[in-house]
Amino acid sequence: MAARRPLIVGNWKMNGLAASLAEATALADRARAQAPAAELGLCPPATLVAAMAAALKGTAVGVGGQDCHAKAAGAHTGDIAAEMLKDAGATYVITGHSERRADHGESSETVRAKAAAAHRAGLVAIVCVGETLAERDAGETLKIVTAQIRGSLPDGATAANTVVAYEPVWAIGTGRTPTTAQVAEVHAEIRRDLLARFDDGAGFRILYGGSVKPDNAAELMAVPDVDGALVGGASLKAADFWPIVQAKGLQ
Protein backbone atom coordinates (compact mmCIF):
# COMPACT_ATOMS: atom_id res chain seq x y z
CA MET A 1 0.00 0.00 0.00
CA ALA A 2 1.19 3.52 -0.77
CA ALA A 3 2.34 5.59 2.16
CA ARG A 4 -0.39 7.56 3.92
CA ARG A 5 -0.23 11.23 2.98
CA PRO A 6 -0.02 13.43 6.09
CA LEU A 7 -3.04 15.61 6.82
CA ILE A 8 -2.95 18.79 8.90
CA VAL A 9 -6.36 20.35 9.60
CA GLY A 10 -7.16 23.52 11.52
CA ASN A 11 -10.39 23.69 13.51
CA TRP A 12 -11.29 27.34 14.07
CA LYS A 13 -14.20 26.40 16.37
CA MET A 14 -16.42 29.44 17.16
CA ASN A 15 -13.84 31.94 15.99
CA GLY A 16 -13.48 34.04 12.87
CA LEU A 17 -15.15 36.89 11.01
CA ALA A 18 -14.81 37.91 7.36
CA ALA A 19 -11.54 39.70 8.10
CA SER A 20 -10.10 36.39 9.32
CA LEU A 21 -10.03 35.08 5.74
CA ALA A 22 -6.71 36.93 5.39
CA GLU A 23 -5.15 34.28 7.64
CA ALA A 24 -6.46 31.52 5.38
CA THR A 25 -5.03 33.14 2.26
CA ALA A 26 -1.73 33.76 4.10
CA LEU A 27 -1.55 30.03 4.81
CA ALA A 28 -2.25 29.27 1.15
CA ASP A 29 0.52 31.67 0.13
CA ARG A 30 3.01 29.85 2.36
CA ALA A 31 1.92 26.51 0.95
CA ARG A 32 2.33 27.82 -2.60
CA ALA A 33 5.85 28.98 -1.84
CA GLN A 34 7.06 25.83 -0.06
CA ALA A 35 4.78 23.06 -1.42
CA PRO A 36 4.47 20.87 1.69
CA ALA A 37 3.95 17.15 1.26
CA ALA A 38 1.03 17.27 3.70
CA GLU A 39 -2.57 17.78 2.71
CA LEU A 40 -3.89 20.93 4.37
CA GLY A 41 -7.37 21.93 5.49
CA LEU A 42 -9.17 24.58 7.52
CA CYS A 43 -12.55 24.17 9.17
CA PRO A 44 -13.99 27.63 9.89
CA PRO A 45 -17.41 28.36 11.39
CA ALA A 46 -20.28 27.68 9.00
CA THR A 47 -20.67 31.39 8.23
CA LEU A 48 -17.26 31.40 6.53
CA VAL A 49 -17.24 28.05 4.69
CA ALA A 50 -18.42 29.38 1.33
CA ALA A 51 -16.31 32.52 1.46
CA MET A 52 -13.21 30.61 2.51
CA ALA A 53 -13.75 27.99 -0.18
CA ALA A 54 -13.97 30.77 -2.77
CA ALA A 55 -10.88 32.52 -1.41
CA LEU A 56 -8.85 29.29 -1.40
CA LYS A 57 -10.05 27.88 -4.73
CA GLY A 58 -7.12 26.57 -6.73
CA THR A 59 -4.78 26.53 -3.73
CA ALA A 60 -3.37 23.62 -1.71
CA VAL A 61 -5.65 24.34 1.26
CA GLY A 62 -9.02 22.62 1.46
CA VAL A 63 -12.03 23.71 3.51
CA GLY A 64 -14.29 21.80 5.86
CA GLY A 65 -17.24 22.16 8.20
CA GLN A 66 -17.16 21.62 11.94
CA ASP A 67 -20.35 19.54 12.15
CA CYS A 68 -23.30 18.38 10.08
CA HIS A 69 -26.78 16.96 10.55
CA ALA A 70 -27.44 13.33 9.75
CA LYS A 71 -30.27 14.19 7.36
CA ALA A 72 -29.96 15.88 3.98
CA ALA A 73 -32.80 18.36 4.57
CA GLY A 74 -35.79 19.01 6.80
CA ALA A 75 -37.21 20.94 9.72
CA HIS A 76 -34.02 21.21 11.76
CA THR A 77 -33.63 24.87 12.67
CA GLY A 78 -30.03 25.94 13.15
CA ASP A 79 -28.53 22.76 11.68
CA ILE A 80 -26.55 22.34 8.48
CA ALA A 81 -26.62 19.35 6.19
CA ALA A 82 -23.54 17.68 4.78
CA GLU A 83 -24.91 18.40 1.30
CA MET A 84 -25.02 22.10 2.16
CA LEU A 85 -21.37 22.04 3.18
CA LYS A 86 -20.48 20.26 -0.05
CA ASP A 87 -22.46 22.82 -2.03
CA ALA A 88 -20.58 25.62 -0.23
CA GLY A 89 -17.24 24.16 -1.37
CA ALA A 90 -16.25 21.98 1.58
CA THR A 91 -14.12 18.85 1.28
CA TYR A 92 -14.19 17.69 4.90
CA VAL A 93 -16.45 17.77 7.94
CA ILE A 94 -15.52 17.12 11.56
CA THR A 95 -17.85 14.75 13.40
CA GLY A 96 -17.85 13.69 17.03
CA HIS A 97 -15.57 16.39 18.40
CA SER A 98 -15.47 16.15 22.19
CA GLU A 99 -17.02 19.60 22.47
CA ARG A 100 -20.02 18.33 20.49
CA ARG A 101 -20.17 15.12 22.52
CA ALA A 102 -20.00 17.07 25.80
CA ASP A 103 -21.88 20.30 25.02
CA HIS A 104 -24.60 18.74 22.87
CA GLY A 105 -24.80 15.23 24.31
CA GLU A 106 -23.82 13.53 21.06
CA SER A 107 -23.48 9.77 21.34
CA SER A 108 -21.30 7.58 19.17
CA GLU A 109 -24.50 6.49 17.41
CA THR A 110 -25.19 10.11 16.49
CA VAL A 111 -21.61 10.58 15.34
CA ARG A 112 -21.88 7.45 13.20
CA ALA A 113 -25.00 8.81 11.49
CA LYS A 114 -23.28 12.13 10.82
CA ALA A 115 -20.21 10.40 9.38
CA ALA A 116 -22.48 8.37 7.10
CA ALA A 117 -24.13 11.64 6.03
CA ALA A 118 -20.73 13.07 5.19
CA HIS A 119 -20.02 10.05 2.99
CA ARG A 120 -23.43 10.39 1.33
CA ALA A 121 -22.59 13.98 0.42
CA GLY A 122 -19.12 13.16 -0.87
CA LEU A 123 -17.24 14.67 2.07
CA VAL A 124 -14.34 13.22 4.04
CA ALA A 125 -15.49 12.62 7.63
CA ILE A 126 -12.93 13.48 10.31
CA VAL A 127 -14.23 11.35 13.19
CA CYS A 128 -12.97 12.35 16.64
CA VAL A 129 -12.47 10.04 19.59
CA GLY A 130 -10.87 10.52 22.99
CA GLU A 131 -11.10 9.96 26.73
CA THR A 132 -11.75 12.31 29.64
CA LEU A 133 -9.25 12.79 32.44
CA ALA A 134 -11.38 10.68 34.78
CA GLU A 135 -11.42 7.85 32.24
CA ARG A 136 -7.65 8.03 31.79
CA ASP A 137 -7.06 8.09 35.55
CA ALA A 138 -9.30 5.02 35.83
CA GLY A 139 -7.14 3.18 33.27
CA GLU A 140 -9.98 3.03 30.75
CA THR A 141 -8.42 4.98 27.88
CA LEU A 142 -8.07 2.11 25.41
CA LYS A 143 -11.47 0.70 26.33
CA ILE A 144 -13.17 4.06 25.77
CA VAL A 145 -11.37 4.84 22.51
CA THR A 146 -12.02 1.36 21.09
CA ALA A 147 -15.72 1.65 21.95
CA GLN A 148 -15.89 5.05 20.27
CA ILE A 149 -14.15 3.74 17.14
CA ARG A 150 -16.57 0.84 16.91
CA GLY A 151 -19.61 2.99 17.58
CA SER A 152 -18.70 6.08 15.58
CA LEU A 153 -17.44 4.67 12.27
CA PRO A 154 -20.11 3.54 9.80
CA ASP A 155 -19.66 0.30 7.89
CA GLY A 156 -19.11 2.32 4.72
CA ALA A 157 -16.01 3.99 6.09
CA THR A 158 -12.88 3.65 3.95
CA ALA A 159 -9.40 5.10 4.00
CA ALA A 160 -10.52 7.47 1.24
CA ASN A 161 -13.62 8.90 2.94
CA THR A 162 -12.72 8.76 6.63
CA VAL A 163 -10.00 10.12 8.90
CA VAL A 164 -9.78 9.34 12.61
CA ALA A 165 -8.63 12.03 15.05
CA TYR A 166 -7.53 11.07 18.55
CA GLU A 167 -8.14 14.00 20.88
CA PRO A 168 -7.74 13.31 24.60
CA VAL A 169 -10.49 15.48 26.04
CA TRP A 170 -8.33 16.57 28.96
CA ALA A 171 -5.72 18.02 26.57
CA ILE A 172 -8.02 20.12 24.38
CA GLY A 173 -7.46 23.80 25.02
CA THR A 174 -5.76 23.15 28.36
CA GLY A 175 -2.14 23.40 27.33
CA ARG A 176 -1.61 19.86 28.63
CA THR A 177 -0.48 17.12 26.28
CA PRO A 178 -0.03 13.39 26.78
CA THR A 179 3.45 11.95 26.61
CA THR A 180 4.63 10.60 23.29
CA ALA A 181 4.40 7.10 24.78
CA GLN A 182 0.75 7.67 25.67
CA VAL A 183 0.00 9.00 22.18
CA ALA A 184 1.80 6.03 20.61
CA GLU A 185 -0.17 3.57 22.73
CA VAL A 186 -3.54 4.98 21.72
CA HIS A 187 -2.69 5.39 18.05
CA ALA A 188 -1.43 1.80 17.93
CA GLU A 189 -4.72 0.61 19.45
CA ILE A 190 -6.73 2.63 16.94
CA ARG A 191 -4.71 1.11 14.12
CA ARG A 192 -5.39 -2.39 15.46
CA ASP A 193 -9.11 -1.61 15.65
CA LEU A 194 -9.13 -0.34 12.06
CA LEU A 195 -7.17 -3.33 10.76
CA ALA A 196 -9.55 -5.71 12.50
CA ARG A 197 -12.65 -4.16 10.97
CA PHE A 198 -11.73 -2.72 7.59
CA ASP A 199 -9.94 -4.30 4.64
CA ASP A 200 -8.06 -1.05 4.06
CA GLY A 201 -7.47 -0.35 7.75
CA ALA A 202 -3.78 0.20 7.11
CA GLY A 203 -4.61 3.14 4.88
CA PHE A 204 -6.72 5.17 7.31
CA ARG A 205 -5.03 8.35 8.48
CA ILE A 206 -5.00 8.87 12.25
CA LEU A 207 -4.50 12.44 13.42
CA TYR A 208 -3.51 13.65 16.86
CA GLY A 209 -5.30 16.63 18.38
CA GLY A 210 -5.14 18.29 21.76
CA SER A 211 -3.05 21.39 22.48
CA VAL A 212 -0.88 20.92 19.38
CA LYS A 213 1.45 23.92 19.17
CA PRO A 214 4.53 24.94 17.20
CA ASP A 215 6.80 23.99 20.10
CA ASN A 216 5.49 20.43 20.53
CA ALA A 217 4.39 19.58 16.99
CA ALA A 218 7.62 17.98 15.79
CA GLU A 219 7.76 15.60 18.76
CA LEU A 220 4.11 14.61 18.40
CA MET A 221 4.25 14.23 14.62
CA ALA A 222 7.23 11.87 14.92
CA VAL A 223 5.18 9.30 16.88
CA PRO A 224 4.41 6.10 14.90
CA ASP A 225 0.91 6.05 13.38
CA VAL A 226 0.48 9.79 13.85
CA ASP A 227 -0.40 10.82 10.30
CA GLY A 228 -0.97 14.48 11.02
CA ALA A 229 -2.85 16.77 13.36
CA LEU A 230 -6.21 18.35 14.10
CA VAL A 231 -5.23 21.75 15.44
CA GLY A 232 -7.38 24.16 17.42
CA GLY A 233 -6.26 27.59 18.60
CA ALA A 234 -2.87 27.43 16.88
CA SER A 235 -4.61 27.27 13.49
CA LEU A 236 -6.17 30.71 13.77
CA LYS A 237 -3.00 32.49 12.68
CA ALA A 238 -0.97 31.36 9.67
CA ALA A 239 2.25 32.23 11.51
CA ASP A 240 1.37 29.77 14.30
CA PHE A 241 -0.09 27.08 12.05
CA TRP A 242 2.72 26.96 9.52
CA PRO A 243 5.39 25.53 11.89
CA ILE A 244 2.98 22.67 12.65
CA VAL A 245 2.62 22.02 8.93
CA GLN A 246 6.40 22.01 8.63
CA ALA A 247 6.72 19.48 11.45
CA LYS A 248 4.92 16.84 9.40
CA GLY A 249 4.56 18.21 5.91
CA LEU A 250 8.21 18.87 5.18
CA GLN A 251 9.70 15.68 6.62
Domains and CATH numbers, the chain: 7-30+39-73+80-249 (3.20.20.70)
- Cα 90-94-95 angle, rounded to 5 deg: 130
Percent of the chain with pLDDT over 70: 98
Q: Among the residues of the chain, which ranges form H helices? A: 21-34, 49-55, 82-87, 98-103, 108-121, 133-137, 141-152, 180-197, 217-221, 238-249
Whether the per-residue pLDDT at 98 is higher than 60: the answer is: yes
Whether the per-residue pLDDT at 251 is higher than 60: the answer is: no
Give me the chain's average pLDDT, please.
95
The tens digit of pLDDT for each residue in 11-34 reads 999 999 999 999 999 999 999 999
167 is catalytic: yes
Phi and psi torsions of 155, nearest 5°: -65, -25
Confidence of residue 174 (pLDDT cuts 50, 70, 90): confident
97 is catalytic: yes
Whether the per-residue pLDDT at 249 is higher than 70: the answer is: no
Whether the per-residue pLDDT at 63 is higher than 50: the answer is: yes
Instruction: Tell me the CB-side half-sphere exposure of residue 30, using CA atoms within 13 A.
Output: 20
Catalytic residue selected from 23, 39, 83, 167: 167
The tens digit of pLDDT for each residue in 125-154 reads 999 999 999 999 999 999 999 999 999 999
Phi and psi torsions of 58, nearest 5°: 85, 0
Catalytic residue selected from 69, 97, 119, 187: 97
3-state SS, residue 238: helix
Alpha-carbon distance of 202 to 196, in angstroms, equals 10
pLDDT score recorded for residue 1: 47
Whether the per-residue pLDDT at 172 is higher than 90: the answer is: no
